[in-house]
Chain A
Amino acid sequence: MSLSSRIVNVFRSERLSREIDEELQGHIDEAIASGRDPQEVRRAFGSPLRVREAGYSVRAAGWLESLVADTKFGWRQLWRNKVASAAAILSLALGIGSCVAAFRLIDALLWRPLPIANSSNLFVLSRKMVGLYGKPVEDGYWSTPDFKLMRDAVKDQADLIAVSDADRTDIAWSSDDDIEKAHVAYVSGNMFPLFGLEPALGRLLGPADDRALGLYPYAVISWDYWNHRFGRDPGILGRSVHIGDQSFEIIGVGPRDFTGTEKGTVTDVFLPLSMNVMATEDRADWHRVFVMLKPGVSASALEPMRQHLTAVNHAFGAACSTCYRGETKASIARFLNQSLAFNPGGAGISDLQKEYRRLLGALGLMVALVLLIACVNVSNMMTAQAAARAQEMALRISIGAGRRRLVQLILVQSALLSMISAALAAFFAAWSAPFVLGLVNPPDNPARLDLPADWRVLLFGLGLTVLIVLLLGLLPALRASSVRPVAALKGGEDPHSPRRLMRGAIALQVAFCVLVLFLSSLFVTSFQRLQNRPLGFSTDRLLLLQSTAGKGQLPIVWAQTVEALRAVPGVDSAAVSGWPLLGRIKINSDISVNGAPPSPTPAFFLNVSPGWLSTMKIPVIAGRDFRPQDTSPGEAIVNETFVKTFFPDLNPGQDPIGRTFQRGVNEPVNKIVGVTPDIPDHDLREPNRALFFVPINTVDGKSAPSPVSFATFIIHTEAKNPLAMADSLRQVIAQRHNGIRVSNVTTQLDLVRDQTVRERLIATLAAFFAGVALLLAGVGLYAVLNYSVLQRRREIGIRMAIGSPRTGIVRLVTLDVFVMIALGASAGLALGFSAARYVASLFYQVKATDAEMIALPACAILVTALLATLPAVLRALRTNPTEILRAE
């Protein structure tokens, strides 16, 4: 008889018992027929029950037998308390599901290695230096000439790989009019071979395609792009794609799972590094550098290599003759003082990782706490149920049930609970992880991450479930199995012991809940303050048409196009600027006043047309707006911070109109013609910076106008929804056939909204989980108090009967609970302070020590506690002493 038949026998136990009985009865009958004394035969068998048991345990798998029985019993137990069980399962499912979803996101973005060979040997090269504003910064972008020097310097120990970010770029597959967006990355020719990647079609880029500037116009597209853009058409090979003013021939399709090294973005097109004109510029830090250790080189070689590379990089910086014209020695020294660092690069590198690392950490912490709160609730519920069954347990033990079996009984019940919850949680996690990912970036350029439900996720989910089984079951199981039968059967031993345990649980729960509330109030307040930050310009009815003009178009042509747009019915006003405000583009410029060396702090600038300020509703507080004949260099309008920074000699109230500055030593002079208030120009989170505007009419040294290759039209529409006019205005521009094309349509309002995407995401999630935590803690509190009042019914009745006042009863019921709440809240706040330090970079104008940040969670938990204790207090007060005493 095999294990399988033993398992089968478990599920037909009655039939098995019947068969054993039948066989034994047959034996007895034959013995009697052969003349033996019936009494003696029966005695020879001993207890028939024991023989049957002995036979039974051999023929059926006993452990499974008891497991099945316990499962049935546990199920009945859950079924009997339907509402409580459903609440327990739902709260656990939400907790587990959120944890698994958070794990999926964190794992996919930060931990999961790239699908490449030797990902553990891959490092990212960055440099640490003192930034523009005197703070230490870590920068991961490099210029190509610097990269090549460093590559050659360590070529015996490691390979250096250059990969640019996959920028959302205008590309055209056929005629120039049919523009679409794709993520285009430039990579050094050694990337594909070193990553051990094989083409799905054609061939991949190799070192030979990256030998000389501009000579090898070949492109590889990713499998993902090939799939969703071309439906896996093998005819893609040999087609050409136009990017900027270059054409590239498609030579191959990358491997199926490789989407580039920038986690959060799927690279569509890979181009050779040397096809980008920036590849020759000493000062253009535009791509990242990966370091792949050669086989056999150990990690101990990293430190000498780092020092070597630091020296090479320093020599490169020092040799740059054009880099520091007119700079002071101090600022040159500050710039050259860079120390290089290797960071593990096996999981890729992206800005998304940097921006969301702490956010996901905070999110993970909050969902884990919510899960713990739910666990405490369910554990309390099971403790209460076990206490109610203390007599049953005692009976079982006194008639000989093993304690092991009792522990098993309770563990099986908690396993049942957690398994049902885990199944529900799997559905929740399957939905919620992609949902949250969809909220990560602005809708027109969503973050994309592979979120496979593979063994990593399964293992995490399984581990979590086992942990919860133990967390839920172990305490009640140990309590139940330590029941002393004599005491329990006599009418209960120490009736306070389960309550003591539960009170500890309350403190724990309140601590977790306050921690979640505290973090969430910080996040929500940050978001509100960021969203309500005064902009200083209007976002109402402003349509933005980001446009390009191939090799460039003269400023006069751009100005004529603005005129044409302004003439369209429904357009209130129109203007053009180099790029939009808060569009994440920032370019700084040195500022030199009266020929002095440039100050250590630079200023940011923006090219604008006349009328741009009024279209954006930015007031001119002194001087005037630009006129059509103004040029750059020539005239400039500056903001108040600019005046304060660079003209500290001016008294308040004195305007700087007529003063001059240069954009670097020996540069032409700009005369200030106007002053504007401060506005946030590229990042809502940053304080106001020195900013100046120059006319979009740029002229060169001989006063000849320079072409402008990209700019953004700003159109203030009369209608409420500016996007309604987008198509017709696009047509107006296209019909002029002057080479200017619209590449992206958006509104100023959307750009402002996109600035707060991350803060909105964490604030929304934090508020949601704070609500859940508060609800769960409230339910838990209610349940514990209610249970405690029920259990102390006799005591309360007696106290009332001997004349205890109502206030005494209330104090009896609530005092220790509120002590626990106070303890828990203080612990939660203390934990909150340390947690807040870790995520301080996500806050905007709030500090953990702000009084209202502490008051908010404290009030919330207090109100919840009052609400949760009210029913129990009322029940205690309504206790009828005569009834209780009579029942005794």
Chain B
Amino acid sequence: MAKTDSLQGSLDLLVLKILSRRPRLHGYAIMAAIASTSGEVLRAEEGSLYPALYRMEEAGWIRAEWVKKETGRRARIYELTDAGNERLGAEESRWQSVSFAINRVLREA
């Protein structure tokens, strides 16, 4: 659980960013993308990823649909909505200002 806690508050940002670069991913691919692009440093726990996806879907930032995969099984894939795009901008600038502030504290304290 410690690992998920480190992602608390930034999981939304990561998911939205991933989906803005690579649309139409299913849950496992999103998790894998977070791991690979962060150089295996960040890991989204399954236990919190799906509730977060459902919550963002409910908020209208992403939308989901069922697609058939080559294997014949169904997968639920997600993509960003316009509202999600706006949200991503807001989250990014918030992250920038927070990390800038934290860096300053680390430098000057």
Give A contacts to B, CB under 8 Å: 1-2, 6, 19-20, 22-24, 26-27, 29-31, 34, 41, 44-46, 50-51, 54-55, 58-59
A26 CA to B66 CA, complexed, in Å: 12
Closest A residue by C-beta to B1: A46
A58 CA to B48 CA, complexed, in Å: 13
Q: Please determine whether B60 and A1 come into contact, CB atoms closer than 8 angstroms.
A: yes
Please give, as numbers and ranges, the residues of chain A lying within 8 Å of B45 by CB-CB distance: 44
Q: Does any Cβ of A come within 8 Å of B94's Cβ?
A: no
Q: Please determine whether A22 and B74 come into contact, CB atoms closer than 8 angstroms.
A: yes
A55 CA to B52 CA, complexed, in Å: 9
CB distance from B48 to the nearest CB of A (A): 9
Please give, as numbers and ranges, the residues of chain A lying within 8 Å of B73 by CB-CB distance: 26, 29
CB distance from A379 to the nearest CB of B (A): 40
Q: Please determine whether A23 and B50 come into contact, CB atoms closer than 8 angstroms.
A: yes
Contact of A59 among B58, B60, B74 (CB under 8 A): B58
Please give, as numbers and ranges, the residues of chain A lying within 8 Å of B74 by CB-CB distance: 22, 26
Q: Please determine whether B26 and A26 come into contact, CB atoms closer than 8 angstroms.
A: yes
Please give, as numbers and ranges, the residues of chain A lying within 8 Å of B57 by CB-CB distance: 1, 59
A715 CA to B26 CA, complexed, in Å: 101
Please give, as numbers and ranges, the residues of chain B lying within 8 Å of A26 by CB-CB distance: 26-28, 73-76
Can you offer 26 A-B residue contacts whose CB atoms are under 8 A? A1-B58, A6-B58, A19-B76, A22-B74, A23-B26, A23-B50, A23-B75, A24-B50, A26-B27, A26-B28, A26-B74, A26-B75, A26-B76, A27-B28, A27-B31, A27-B46, A27-B50, A29-B73, A34-B32, A44-B46, A50-B47, A51-B50, A51-B51, A58-B55, A58-B58, A59-B57
Q: Please determine whether A44 and B47 come into contact, CB atoms closer than 8 angstroms.
A: yes
Please give, as numbers and ranges, the residues of chain B lying within 8 Å of A1 by CB-CB distance: 57-58, 60
CB distance from A27 to the nearest CB of B (A): 5
Closest B residue by C-beta to A52: B50
Q: Does any Cβ of A come within 8 Å of B100's Cβ?
A: no
Closest B residue by C-beta to A45: B46
Please give, as numbers and ranges, the residues of chain B lying within 8 Å of A2 by CB-CB distance: 60
Closest B residue by C-beta to A26: B75
Please give, as numbers and ranges, the residues of chain B lying within 8 Å of A51 by CB-CB distance: 46-47, 50-51
- The listed residue with most A CB atoms (<10 A of its CB), out of B32, B51, B60, B73, is B51
A398 CA to B31 CA, complexed, in Å: 38
Residues 38-85 of B contacting A (Cβ, < 8 Å): 45-47, 50-51, 54-55, 57-58, 60, 66, 73-76
Contact of B47 among A22, A31, A46 (CB under 8 A): A46
Contact of B28 among A19, A30, A50, A55 (CB under 8 A): A30
CB distance from B93 to the nearest CB of A (A): 26
Closest B residue by C-beta to A31: B28
Q: Please determine whether B27 and A23 come into contact, CB atoms closer than 8 angstroms.
A: yes
Tell me whether A54 and B58 are in contact in the complex, defined as CB-CB below 8 angstroms, given that A23-B76, A26-B75, A27-B27 are known contacts: no
A22 CA to B26 CA, complexed, in Å: 12
A6 CA to B50 CA, complexed, in Å: 17
- The listed residue with most A CB atoms (<10 A of its CB), out of B31, B57, B58, is B58
A224 CA to B44 CA, complexed, in Å: 76
Tell me whether A55 and B58 are in contact in the complex, defined as CB-CB below 8 angstroms, given that A22-B74, A23-B27 are known contacts: no
Please give, as numbers and ranges, the residues of chain B lying within 8 Å of A31 by CB-CB distance: 28
Closest B residue by C-beta to A2: B60
Q: Please determine whether A55 and B60 come into contact, CB atoms closer than 8 angstroms.
A: no
Q: Which 4 A/B pairs are nearest by Cβ-Cβ distance? A: A58-B54, A54-B51, A30-B28, A46-B47
Q: Please determine whether A45 and B47 come into contact, CB atoms closer than 8 angstroms.
A: yes
Please give, as numbers and ranges, the residues of chain B lying within 8 Å of A24 by CB-CB distance: 46, 50
Q: Please determine whether A55 and B47 come into contact, CB atoms closer than 8 angstroms.
A: no
Given contacts A27-B31, A58-B54, A58-B55, 10 further A-B contacts (CB under 8 A): A22-B76, A23-B27, A26-B74, A27-B28, A30-B28, A45-B46, A50-B47, A51-B47, A55-B54, A59-B54
- The listed residue with most A CB atoms (<10 A of its CB), out of B50, B55, B60, B73, is B50
Convert B1-34 into 0s and 1s, putting 1 for each residue whose CB lies closer than 8 angstroms to a CB of A. Answer: 0000000000000000000000000111001100
Please give, as numbers and ranges, the residues of chain A lying within 8 Å of B47 by CB-CB distance: 44-46, 50-51
Q: Please determine whether A55 and B26 come into contact, CB atoms closer than 8 angstroms.
A: no
A91 CA to B60 CA, complexed, in Å: 49
A607 CA to B50 CA, complexed, in Å: 100
CB distance from B4 to the nearest CB of A (A): 10
A50 CA to B51 CA, complexed, in Å: 10
Closest B residue by C-beta to A19: B76
Please give, as numbers and ranges, the residues of chain B lying within 8 Å of A58 by CB-CB distance: 51, 54-55, 58
Tell me whether A55 and B50 are in contact in the complex, defined as CB-CB below 8 angstroms, given that A6-B58, A26-B28, A27-B28 are known contacts: yes
A34 CA to B36 CA, complexed, in Å: 14
Please give, as numbers and ranges, the residues of chain A lying within 8 Å of B31 by CB-CB distance: 27
Convert B81-105 into 0s and 1s, putting 1 for each residue whose CB lies closer than 8 angstroms to a CB of A. Answer: 0000000000000000000000000
A2 CA to B81 CA, complexed, in Å: 14
Please give, as numbers and ranges, the residues of chain B lying within 8 Å of A54 by CB-CB distance: 50-51, 54
CB distance from B66 to the nearest CB of A (A): 8
Please give, as numbers and ranges, the residues of chain B lying within 8 Å of A23 by CB-CB distance: 26-27, 50, 75-76
CB distance from A649 to the nearest CB of B (A): 102
A50 CA to B47 CA, complexed, in Å: 9
Please give, as numbers and ranges, the residues of chain B lying within 8 Å of A59 by CB-CB distance: 54, 57-58
Closest A residue by C-beta to B26: A26
Please give, as numbers and ranges, the residues of chain B lying within 8 Å of A30 by CB-CB distance: 28
- The listed residue with most B CB atoms (<10 A of its CB), out of A1, A41, A45, A46, is A1
A19 CA to B75 CA, complexed, in Å: 10
A304 CA to B28 CA, complexed, in Å: 87
CB distance from B100 to the nearest CB of A (A): 32
A833 CA to B44 CA, complexed, in Å: 78
A543 CA to B102 CA, complexed, in Å: 108
Please give, as numbers and ranges, the residues of chain A lying within 8 Å of B27 by CB-CB distance: 23, 26-27
Please give, as numbers and ranges, the residues of chain B lying within 8 Å of A27 by CB-CB distance: 26-28, 31, 46, 50
Closest A residue by C-beta to B59: A1
Please give, as numbers and ranges, the residues of chain B lying within 8 Å of A29 by CB-CB distance: 73
Closest A residue by C-beta to B75: A26
A2 CA to B32 CA, complexed, in Å: 29
A523 CA to B74 CA, complexed, in Å: 78
Q: Please determine whether A55 and B76 come into contact, CB atoms closer than 8 angstroms.
A: no
CB distance from A88 to the nearest CB of B (A): 40
A335 CA to B34 CA, complexed, in Å: 102
A44 CA to B46 CA, complexed, in Å: 6
A50 CA to B32 CA, complexed, in Å: 23
Tell me whether A55 and B51 are in contact in the complex, defined as CB-CB below 8 angstroms, given that A1-B60, A26-B28, A26-B73 are known contacts: yes
Please give, as numbers and ranges, the residues of chain A lying within 8 Å of B54 by CB-CB distance: 54-55, 58-59
Please give, as numbers and ranges, the residues of chain B lying within 8 Å of A50 by CB-CB distance: 47
CB distance from B43 to the nearest CB of A (A): 9
Please give, as numbers and ranges, the residues of chain B lying within 8 Å of A41 by CB-CB distance: 46
Please give, as numbers and ranges, the residues of chain A lying within 8 Å of B51 by CB-CB distance: 51, 54-55, 58
Closest A residue by C-beta to B45: A44
Closest A residue by C-beta to B57: A1
Please give, as numbers and ranges, the residues of chain A lying within 8 Å of B26 by CB-CB distance: 23, 26-27
A34 CA to B57 CA, complexed, in Å: 27
Please give, as numbers and ranges, the residues of chain B lying within 8 Å of A22 by CB-CB distance: 74, 76
A27 CA to B26 CA, complexed, in Å: 8
